[in-house]
Amino acid sequence: MGIWDVFLAPVHSVVFSAQAEDADGDTLMYVIDTASPDARFFRIDLPNSGRVVLARALDFESRRHLEVVVTAVEMNTRERFNASARVRVNVLDGDDQYPQFLPCTPRAPHSPLVCTSPVYTANVTEGQLQGGPLSFSPGAVYAEDGDRGLRAAITYSLLAGQESSRFHIDNVTGAITLLRAVESSRQTPEICLSVMASQVNDPSKYAVARALVRVLAPNRHPPRFPRARYRAFVPAAPRRAALLLTFGGQVLALRAHDPDFPEG
């Protein structure tokens, strides 16, 4: 078996050359066995050259190894003796993918490489600063190089926006910290940040995700019941469960009020 390594080879380029020898000096023609596992990826444009050409694009993320059988056949003899060689082509990773924010949601079941960035969400309290980075859901702000075999280093930044100056992002970890407290949750109920993740070795390869920071009112008051005591009775019945009734025959309903919320 012959082994060849391929790195970002363009379509229609020569991947390898098959060369056989005939002791009689007969002219040889080379063909690809269409029954071989990955024959569709290759073709031979000039049968007597032995040069195997790439017929379709390779993708390291989906296929890392290919196998093809090349047969050398005598052209000018009645016997048409032939010999075959199995060639293994190793697909090497190239820097052709962009960073991806995780968790990455595939846009289609059969297209795991094309995915949608998550929307990260976190809560802050009006007038307060946390002691450290914000805690986001569905997870920490994090991106990876889409080229799984390369794993280029990623750097993070915040794109300029109306409220982006309130925050700081660690360019290595992606952790976001609130620098200035939000004065009013009514005036600023939420802040939308645009986070960019780009490759350190190639800033032109980047991805952008949204980080939504919700501003909550401070919890100053506990909930309260309108009354300190309620009276009700249970009707005599063989049922294992029954509603509590007031003396007026109404179903007893307990509702508490929270003064922190205008609607209660």
Residue 262: per-residue pLDDT: 67
Backbone angles phi, psi at 166, to 5 degrees: -75, -15
SS3 label, residue 164: helix
Distances from the Cα of 162 to the Cαs of 114, 168, 169, 192, 211, in angstroms?
30, 14, 16, 9, 14
Tokens linked to 250: 């109404």
Which CATH number fits the domain that encloses residue 54?
Answer: 2.60.40.60
Q: Do 208 and 108 belong to one domain?
A: yes
CB 133 within 8 A of CB 117: no
pLDDT per residue as tens digits for the range 89-108: 988 777 768 899 999 877 66
Residues spanned by the domain of 211: 100-216
Q: Do 212 and 226 belong to one domain?
A: no
Tokens linked to 83: 């010999």
Q: Do 200 and 104 belong to one domain?
A: yes
Confidence band of 158 (pLDDT split at 50, 70, 90) = very high
Q: Do 201 and 253 belong to one domain?
A: no
Q: Do 87 and 128 belong to one domain?
A: no
Q: Per the structure, how many domains does the chain have?
A: 3
Global pTM? 0.60
Among 92, 123, 158, which residue terminates a domain?
A: 92
Q: In Å, how far from its chain's centre is CA 255? A: 45
Q: Do 179 and 225 belong to one domain?
A: no
Residue 159: per-residue pLDDT: 95
- Rounded Cα distance between 262 and 254, Å, is 19
Q: E strand or H helix at 60, and its extent?
A: none
pLDDT per residue as tens digits for the range 120-144: 999 999 999 988 999 999 999 999 9
Among 92, 108, 129, which residue terminates a domain?
A: 92
% of the chain surpassing 70 pLDDT:
90
Q: Do 160 and 256 belong to one domain?
A: no
